[in-house]
Amino acid sequence: MARRGYLIIDADAHYLEPVHELAEYLDEPWRTRIQGVSPSRLLPRALGDRMLQGRIRRDDVDYGAAIGDSSKGQVLETMQRLGVGATVLVANRLANFGHVSSRDLVVALANGYIDYMLENVASPEEGIYTMPVLPWQEPAEAAAIVTRVGSHPAVVGVCFMTSGPNPPLGDVRYNPIFEAAQEHDLPIVFHSAPGLTLVEGSSPVDGFQRLLEGQATGFLISNIAQLTSILIQGLPERFPKLRFLFQEAGIYWVPMIMQRLDEYYLMRREEAPLLKALPSEYVLDRFHFGTQPLEAPKNPRHLEAIMDMFDGRRRCVFSTDYPHFDFDDPVVIDRLAFLTAEDKQDIFAGNAQRLFNFRKGGVQPWESTWSATSRTSQNTPA
Amino acid sequence: MVGNVADIPEHAGLVVQIGSRSIGVFRIGDQVYALRNVCAHQGGPLCTGKVFPALRAEILPTGKVREYYDYEQMIVACPWHGWEYDLASGECLADPSKRVAVYPARADGDSIVVSVPD
């Protein structure tokens, strides 16, 4: 599968997990508890109608006024339509479980989710990969999940939702999780979440009146908080082989927080004594960033300047975030005149192939497009 | 002539192909509109979206804000991401510097007539 000659890996698409079905994979009493209640009663929901009274529509996914369930067939259909050769699926309803205080519930859901996905959906030969979503609330249990499924060929990373963890994820209490991920050569994917829970005071962006406000800021602040924590707490030094990916907040924020952390590090180095380089230098060496929702300034040179500031041509991985209301079509990269064909192929696939552990199960058929249109041959778009 | 007026769905458009162009035809009362079926944002199928009145707001003397629907300005919203366009001008409501092409259109009896440049 390719689009205009490019192999495309979608580093972040969402699977609308059928909570009642995945409950079958849980031990009692959670199996019974979950089957007897609407998922919206279990997990906090952000405010607002994402689909704007039907203005926004997804014809191939049951994602409208109510949120339905995905299926593997629908995932393959969407990949075909978007021209995506491989996809990394992330849970949808679990995105807000960082704010759930019932620790045994989130552990049960995290286990049930990954077991359901590996048995029913994941398929490396068809380009469908996934990751466990880890409960920060129980680090030892989260590490046990990584150890249990980390060798599966469809598991290409481990995922934290960035809204909710307290303390933020650079804290040493999460060491067992990072140890397990490093041992399995799995990148840590920090997936943003709105941080808008209707629980007063549980997030810096609670209290907004409209979804637009929470969406524009919550995803950003959640990622900024976690990136700051893991850099200043020296996570890259504590786990020198770990690779990191931040998702779903666009890219403009990246050079801003890099520069700001450098300025404060220069003044207060003694508060970050593990660091052996400027915070920004770790970003340029070990961190990747999902492109969605990619900013589209009126002057494209502004986007080019942002990319220049954090080596975006090598740090960015294309992500659609489909089927969410602010998903990105591959055209957002394809139309950027300041990128060469080689840059586009790196953002569409090459950077993700270097980041994720796609080859545990061997070379897969979807990769053949990559070799057929390798960077030295004819991948210039028509 | 691209179709019959009766073929235009309620609160939506009729998408027709005229030469190489995909065009959406809309009808509000007696007025017929035709817009290019390609959103200026990411190329989504704009004219398969629904028609809505523009939502506006006014600041009341109390300082509070009242939101209301303005049925004098009808818009079509792109189903991919919700970008709104004025049916008559093709202008994007959130940013008038973005627009889609509009074409002269009228009802001739039961028939829809759209004029497109060569």
Q: Do B43 and A332 touch (CB under 8 A)?
A: no
Region A113-118: mean pLDDT is 97
The size of chain B, in residues, is: 118
Q: Encode pLDDT of B50-102 as tens digits.
A: 999 999 999 999 999 999 999 999 999 999 999 999 999 999 999 999 999 99
Q: For residues A188 and A239, is the Cβ–Cβ distance under 8 A?
A: no
Minimum-distance CB partner of B81 among A56, A298, A331: A56
**What percentage of residues in chain A have a pLDDT greater than 90?**
70
Region A297-326: mean pLDDT is 97
Instruction: State both tokens at A10.
Output: 């979608």
Q: Which domain holds residue A180?
A: 2-372
A27's torsion region: left (phi>0), alpha (psi -120 to 50) or beta? beta
Q: Give CA–CA dist A374/A368, Å, rounded.
A: 10
pLDDT value at residue A375:
38
Q: Encode pLDDT of B18-31 as tens digits.
A: 999 999 999 999 89
Q: For residues A236 and A282, is the Cβ–Cβ distance under 8 A?
A: yes
Q: Give CA–CA dist B67/A57, Å, rounded.
A: 24
Q: Encode pLDDT of A170-179 as tens digits.
A: 999 999 999 9
Q: What's the angle, vertex CA A356, arms to CA A354 and CA A360, rounded to 5?
A: 105
Query: How much is the mean pLDDT over chain A?
Result: 90
pLDDT value at residue A1:
59
pLDDT value at residue A2:
64
Which chain B residues touch A298 with a CB distance below 8 Å?
97
DSSP strand E in B1-118: where? 3-4, 14-18, 21-28, 31-36, 51-59, 65-77, 84-86, 102-103, 105-108, 111-114
**When comparing pLDDT for A370 and B41, which is higher?**
B41
Minimum-distance CB partner of A331 among B42, B79, B97: B42
Minimum-distance CB partner of B79 among A57, A326, A332: A57
Region A359-376: mean pLDDT is 71
Query: Would you say residue A339 has pLDDT above 90?
Result: yes
Query: By the CB < 8 Å criterion, does B104 face chain A?
Result: no
pLDDT value at residue A148:
98
Domain residue spans of chain B: 3-114
> Which residues of A fall below an 8 Å CB-CB distance to B?
52-57, 59, 296, 298, 325-329, 331-332
If pLDDT is split at 50, 70 and 90, which confidence band does A116 have?
A: very high
Query: By the CB < 8 Å criterion, does B24 face chain A?
Result: no
Q: For residues A351 and A316, is the Cβ–Cβ distance under 8 A?
A: yes
Q: Do A329 and B79 touch (CB under 8 A)?
A: no
Q: Give CA–CA dist A240/A244, Å, rounded.
A: 11
pLDDT value at residue A372:
38
Which chain B residues touch A327 with a CB distance below 8 Å?
80-81
Nearest-CA distance A363 → chain B (Å): 33
Q: Give CA–CA dist A38/A36, Å, rounded.
A: 7
Q: Give CA–CA dist A181/A242, Å, rounded.
A: 8
Q: Encode pLDDT of A260-289 as tens digits.
A: 999 999 999 999 999 999 999 999 999 999
Which chain A residues touch B81 with a CB distance below 8 Å?
56, 325-327
If pLDDT is split at 50, 70 and 90, which confidence band does A27 have?
A: confident
Q: Give CA–CA dist A294/A297, Å, rounded.
A: 10
**What percentage of residues in chain A have a pLDDT greater than 70?**
92
Q: How far is residue B67 from each of residues A69, A198, B59, measured CA to CA in Å?
A: 34, 23, 9
pLDDT value at residue A95:
84
The verdict on residue A382 lying in a domain is no
CATH code at B3-114: 2.102.10.10
Minimum-distance CB partner of A326 among B52, B78, B81: B81
Q: Do A57 and B43 touch (CB under 8 A)?
A: no
pLDDT value at residue A198:
44
Q: Do A52 and B77 touch (CB under 8 A)?
A: yes
Q: Encode pLDDT of A153-164 as tens digits.
A: 999 999 999 988
Q: Do A56 and B50 touch (CB under 8 A)?
A: no
Q: How many CB atoms lie within 10 A of CB A187?
A: 23
If pLDDT is split at 50, 70 and 90, which confidence band does A235 have?
A: very high
pLDDT value at residue A202:
57
Q: Do B77 and A298 touch (CB under 8 A)?
A: no
Q: How many domains does chain A fold into?
A: 1
Query: By the CB < 8 Å criterion, does B45 face chain A?
Result: no
Region A82-87: mean pLDDT is 96
Query: Would you say residue A382 has pLDDT above 50?
Result: no
Q: Do A56 and B82 touch (CB under 8 A)?
A: yes
If pLDDT is split at 50, 70 and 90, which confidence band does A133 have?
A: very high
pLDDT value at residue A373:
42
The candidate with the shortest Cα–Cα distance to A267, out of A232, A220, A309, is: A232
- Residue identified by tokens 């286990």 is A111
Coil vs helix vs strand at A140:
helix
pLDDT value at residue A201:
57
Coil vs helix vs strand at A46:
coil
If pLDDT is split at 50, 70 and 90, which confidence band does A196 have?
A: low
Query: Would you say residue A203 has pLDDT above 90?
Result: no
Coil vs helix vs strand at B34:
strand
Query: Would you say residue A331 has pLDDT above 80?
Result: yes
Which chain A residues touch B74 with a CB distance below 8 Å?
none
Strands B102-103 and B31-36: antiparallel
Coil vs helix vs strand at B28:
strand
Minimum-distance CB partner of B82 among A52, A298, A331: A52
In this prediction the pTM is 0.90
Minimum-distance CB partner of A56 among B43, B79, B97: B79
Residue A33: CA count within 13 A, CB half-sphere: 13
Q: How far is residue A134 from each of residues A95, A161, A350, A355, measured CA to CA in Å?
A: 11, 8, 26, 19
CATH number of the domain residue A178 falls in: 3.20.20.140
Region A321-345: mean pLDDT is 97
If pLDDT is split at 50, 70 and 90, which confidence band does A46 have?
A: low
Query: By the CB < 8 Å criterion, does B97 face chain A?
Result: yes
Spatial neighbors of A174 by CB under 8 A, at least 6 apart, are A136, A139, A142
The verdict on residue A379 lying in a domain is no
Instruction: State both tokens at A308.
Output: 């220049």
Which chain B residues touch A59 with a CB distance below 8 Å?
79
Region A167-191: mean pLDDT is 97
- Residue identified by tokens 């509070």 is B64
Helices (H), chain A: 19-22, 30-35, 39-42, 72-82, 103-120, 139-149, 175-183, 211-232, 235-238, 253-267, 279-286, 300-309, 312-315, 331-334, 341-345, 351-355, 368-372
The verdict on residue A183 lying in a domain is yes
